[in-house]
């Protein structure tokens, strides 16, 4: 009888217990592989005197890492600490931005060029009963900084844990993986080795024979999807600020209804007291507590879809949240050097993505078509140099109507050698578009301007006819003040590094203009948005580029 036939017989005759043991061993091997792979990304966090003790995880090979705010809170005056890695070495650590309300901080390690970095997962896919791995340095047991490993299950999702205005964990992950003092700020991994949460809170007891507090079987992690919305803000050294609608809800029989609506985002989209809340952030709402928990996961300014019922009518809207200032003992000052570095990173990425040749344009020429909200069409031929933009406007028959001139400091139009003033909204638009091409894109020392800063995270979303999110574009925003009254804020899409949204505000007149960009195409080695939508108090139109040429 051949060896192959014998192996087949033995395989058939293998007992169910043998097969179960094989599956267990396979699962164990997989867990060991994951632990070995991610251990170098786990950080033991201390102050400069190597006191305290918490954990963190590196998510960017340049040394950027996540931890809890309460881990670094005691050395925020200097922002300096040290981080221990599994190689047994300590590295200088600097605290960058912090989210006090959400108990998150970003730090940066220095001392070598690249670091092992963990992938950030998707916490929205977590299910109760799923295996997870918690890693960190509880009770500072590991003097060589090799992380302690504990395993367990997801025992609950969408939990709320809070104490007043700080250490508020909204929509968080509950696990029975052992999390103890010192684990704070460390990662909660899924079985693919992806970070799906940052551990920070426990249900604990005190015992005279224990080392202070100890875990009783319940730990809580901040969901990584909440943290992702704040990462660009915190990497720039900024203060993380959560959002508010200036409205509250209550449970009424089987409904969730608004019981307080003040002036703000909710009121502005038409919500009034006694309206029913049906959906928020693409999640069906079943309780007032669920709504409050979800709301706490969003930064200020973030666009959130909301579905509500007023009378017999159902409305689908998108609102942008107002700031809910965190509890601060004094003024928060962002590290200027880090903010400048974030500006430079964003602008360099934009220039690399938009300008394949690497050499600055000398002249832009294009034709465009504009359709306003009344269906009126205007065509343009445009020539733009670093000195002046000339925009010749024509009607549907091709007859010239007027010529618009835009310089760095002004915009006006001429007809038959006579000069006329443009509206404030038009002047803001033309000046901002010129700044995007000649300052944001081509001015190499632009990031050194004292009036430019990294403003943090933002997004653009579109919804379908049912109010569900059809598309979401994550942004990081750069704001510049060309003069003391005007601010031009450009949101660059994180994935593409290209401009997706521009907001222009004139403090003197309180005028505000919003531009969204789309339809990116390459022309003359430049990738540029060929469609934009403009909205302000007096402007509402879409404009598309039909032919673009860039000369160098």
Q: Are 257 and 239 in contact (CB under 8 A)?
A: no
What interhelical angle do 224-235 and 336-354 show, nearest 10?
100
Question: At 306, is the secondary structure helix, strand, or coil?
Answer: strand
Instruction: Decide if 316 is catalytic.
Output: no
Q: Are 150 and 177 in contact (CB under 8 A)?
A: yes
- In sequence order, the β-bridge partners of residue 322 are 244
pLDDT at 164: 58
* Nearest Cα to Cα of residue 256 among 180, 316, 199, 307: 307
Angle at 441 between CA 439 and CA 446, to 5 degrees: 45
Distance (Å, whole) CA 64 – CA 95: 10
pLDDT at 415: 82
Instruction: Decide if 103 is catalytic.
Output: yes
What φ, ψ does residue 398 adopt, rounded to 5°? 90, 5
- What single DSSP character describes residue 532? E
Helix (H) or strand (E) holding 316: strand 313-320
* Nearest Cα to Cα of residue 167 among 70, 78, 251, 96: 70
* Structure tokens given for 237: 């050294």
Q: Are 501 and 490 in contact (CB under 8 A)?
A: yes
Burial of 389 (0-12, 13-18, 19+ CB in 10 A): buried
Angle at 230 between CA 251 and CA 499, to 5 degrees: 115
Residue of 55, 70, 439, 447 with catalytic role: 70
- pLDDT < 50 positions in the chain: 10
pLDDT at 206: 54
- Number of Cβ within 10 Å of residue 290's Cβ equals 20
- Please name the residues in contact with 103: beta carbons below 8 A apart, sequence gap of 6 or more: 68, 69, 70, 166, 167, 168, 169, 200, 222
Q: Which CATH number fits domain 39-235: 2.40.10.120, 1.10.3720.10, 2.30.40.10, 2.40.50.140?
A: 2.40.10.120
Residue of 184, 223, 293, 536 with catalytic role: 184
Residue of 103, 384, 439, 506 with catalytic role: 103
pLDDT tens digits along 233-285: 999 999 999 999 999 999 999 999 999 999 999 999 999 999 999 999 999 99
pLDDT at 432: 94
* Nearest Cα to Cα of residue 57 among 168, 155, 185, 151: 185
Q: Is the domain 336-551 a CATH 2.50.20.10 member?
A: yes
| Per-domain residue ranges of the chain | 39-235, 242-324, 336-551
Q: Which fold has domain 242-324?
A: Pdz3 Domain (2.30.42)
Distance (Å, whole) CA 228 – CA 477: 15
pLDDT at 203: 67
pLDDT at 4: 56
Distance (Å, whole) CA 36 – CA 208: 35
| Sign of the four-CA dihedral 155, 157, 162, 165 | positive
Q: Are 65 and 56 in contact (CB under 8 A)?
A: yes
């Amino acid at each position: 009888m051949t060896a192959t036939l014998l192996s087949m017989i033995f395989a058939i005759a293998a007992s169910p217990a043998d097969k179960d043991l094989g599956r267990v061993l396979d699962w164990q091997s997989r867990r060991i592989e994951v632990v070995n792979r991610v251990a170098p990304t786990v950080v033991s966090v201390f102050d400069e005197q190597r006191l305290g003790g918490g954990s963190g995880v590196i998510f960017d090979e340049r040394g950027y890492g996540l931890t809890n705010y309460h881990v670094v809170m005691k050395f925020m005056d200097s922002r300096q600490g040290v981080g221990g890695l599994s190689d047994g070495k300590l590295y200088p650590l600097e605290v960058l931005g912090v989210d006090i309300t959400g108990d998150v901080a970003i730090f940066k390690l220095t001392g070598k060029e690249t670091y092992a970095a963990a992938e950030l997962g998707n916490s929205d896919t977590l299910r109760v009963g799923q295996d997870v791995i918690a890693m960190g340095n509880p009770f500072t047991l590991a003097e060589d900084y090799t992380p302690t490993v504990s395993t367990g299950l997801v025992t609950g999702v969408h939990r709320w844990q809070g104490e007043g205005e700080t250490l508020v964990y909204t929509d968080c992950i509950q696990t029975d993986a052992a999390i103890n003092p010192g684990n704070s700020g460390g990662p909660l991994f899924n079985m693919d080795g992806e970070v799906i949460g940052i551990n920070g809170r426990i249900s604990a007891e005190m015992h005279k024979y224990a080392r202070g507090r100890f875990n009783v079987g319940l730990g809580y992690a901040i969901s990584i999807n909440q943290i992702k919305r704040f990462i660009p803000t915190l990497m720039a050294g900024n203060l993380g600020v959560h959002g508010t609608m200036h409205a509250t809800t209550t449970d009424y029989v089987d409904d969730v209804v608004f019981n307080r609506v003040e002036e703000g985002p909710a009121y502005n989209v038409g919500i009034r007291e006694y309206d029913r809340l049906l959906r928020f952030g693409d999640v069906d709402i079943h309780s007032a507590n669920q709504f409050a928990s979800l709301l706490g996961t969003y930064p200020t300014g973030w666009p959130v879809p909301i579905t509500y019922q007023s009378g017999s009518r159902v409305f689908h809207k998108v609102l942008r949240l107002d700031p809910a200032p965190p509890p601060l003992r004094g003024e928060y000052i962002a590290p200027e050097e880090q903010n400048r570095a974030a500006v430079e990173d964003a602008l360099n990425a934009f220039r690399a993505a938009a300008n394949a040749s690497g050499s600055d344009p000398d002249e832009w020429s294009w034709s465009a078509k504009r359709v306003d909200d009344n269906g009126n069409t205007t065509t343009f031929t445009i020539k733009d140099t670093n000195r002046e933009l000339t925009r010749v406007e024509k009607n549907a028959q091709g007859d010239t109507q007027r010529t618009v001139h835009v310089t760095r400091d002004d915009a006006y139009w001429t007809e038959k050698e006579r000069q006329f003033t443009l509206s404030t909204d038009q002047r803001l638009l033309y000046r901002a578009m010129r700044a995007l091409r000649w300052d944001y894109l081509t001015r190499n020392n632009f990031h050194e301007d004292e009036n430019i800063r990294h403003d943090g995270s933002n997004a653009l979303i579109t919804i379908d006819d049912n109010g569900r999110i059809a598309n979401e574009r994550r942004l990081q925003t750069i704001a510049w003040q060309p003069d003391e009254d005007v601010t031009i804020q450009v949101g660059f899409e994180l994935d593409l590094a290209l401009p997706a949204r521009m907001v222009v505000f004139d403090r003197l007149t309180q005028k505000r203009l919003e531009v969204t960009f789309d339809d990116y195409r390459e022309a003359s080695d430049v990738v540029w948005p060929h469609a934009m939508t403009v909205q302000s108090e007096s402007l509402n139109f879409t404009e598309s580029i039909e032919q673009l040429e860039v000369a160098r």
